[in-house]
Amino acid sequence: MAKLSESGPVLVSACLCGLPCRYDGSVSALPAALELVRQGRAIPVCPEQLGGLPTPRPAIELRHGRALDKEGREVTALVARGARAAADLAGLAGCRAALLKARSPTCGSGRIYDGAFSGTLIPGDGMLAGLLRAMGLELVSEEDLG
């Protein structure tokens, strides 16, 4: 399985690279992601922005396969479009690994919020993480790195 320490491009959640694209406009800069940028190996993406959602935007969670924002609007089509575009980019670039933002409705891998905006985590993948997993990429979150 691919490792982040190996050479080759790595799809990276843009917020982990220091870009202000999280739902609230904040960043979650991660030293490992910044090192991938310095090495020229990071392919930073924000699937939510790529799908057409603004920043800042209301928080989004997945519920029964649908993406809903905290104000009750369905944004499934936008989230899915961005996830597909980011997955296509990973394939075109030959990525074998992705460093993704934990718990995100697009990038979360293994655990995401329950869709009720309760703060409860449940097993599951965000829309992009699910596509990348199906493509065979190694998925790593900032929580996996310590």
pLDDT in tens, 26-64: 988 999 999 999 999 999 999 999 999 999 999 999 999
- Host domain of residue 25: 10-141
Confidence of residue 7 (pLDDT cuts 50, 70, 90): confident
Banded pLDDT at 4 (limits 50, 70, 90): confident
| Residue 68 in domain | yes
| Average pLDDT estimate for 16-22 | 96
Predicted local confidence at residue 120, as pLDDT: 97
Q: What is the pLDDT of residue 2?
A: 47
Average pLDDT over residues 13-26: 96
Q: How confident is the model at residue 3 (pLDDT cuts 50, 70, 90)?
A: low
Within a domain: residue 99?
A: yes
Q: Indicate whether 146 belongs to any domain.
A: no
Contact 47, 83 (CB under 8 A): yes
* Whole-angstrom distance, CA of residue 96 vs CA of residue 112: 22
* Gap between the Cα atoms of 124 and 111, Å rounded: 5
Q: What mean pLDDT, rounded, does the chain reach? A: 95
**Residue located via tokens 């790595």:** 10
Residue 77 covered by a domain: yes
Residue 3 lies in a domain: no
What DSSP state is assigned to residue 13? E
Number of domains observed in the structure of the chain:
1
Decide if 5 is inside a domain: no
The verdict on residue 74 lying in a domain is: yes
